Amino acid sequence: MSSTRVLVVDDYEPFRRYICATLGRSLDYWIVGEVSDGLQAVHEAEALQPDVILLDIGLPGLDGLEAARRIRKLSPDAKILFVSQESSTEVIEAALNSGAFGYVVKAHAACELLAAVETVCGGGKYVSNGNDYRTTQR
């Protein structure tokens, strides 16, 4: 049995711990790395070649959108799932256009994170409920 290898990228350490604890309740996920800035994310994605990258947008050094674009080139098989407090249509569109498979608004992470990770691991797309993007894309 193999676990899905996950890289967690968020500059707010308590939220990183929350993500790791949430995914850690399942034997399906193995946290292979945790980093706090965008440039570290790019380096770790290349070195670790994770299956899934949970990526914040508001990161020091290199924002999550630019990090995602670079990661797509260095770790093309990794599925990027943004987990961010931003919920505007423009930001979500930019995130998905950067090559991400999904987007979870942090305020909904408690009820959506596991479903979102499962969806993107299966090759699907996931966009958080309760934001303008989902309703304008129907």
* Banded pLDDT at 138 (limits 50, 70, 90): very low
**Distance (Å, whole) CA 93 – CA 103:** 9
Q: Break the chain into its structural domains and give their ranges.
A: 4-136
First-to-final CA distance of the chain: 38
**Rounded mean pLDDT, 110-131:** 92
Element (H, E) at 58: none
Contacts of 129 (CB under 8 A, 6+ apart): 108, 112
Q: How far is CA 49 from the centre of its chain?
A: 14
**Distance (Å, whole) CA 129 – CA 29:** 23
- pLDDT, residue 73, reads 96
* Banded pLDDT at 129 (limits 50, 70, 90): confident
pTM of the predicted protein model: 0.92
Taking domain 4-136, whether its CATH number is 3.40.50.2300 is answered by yes
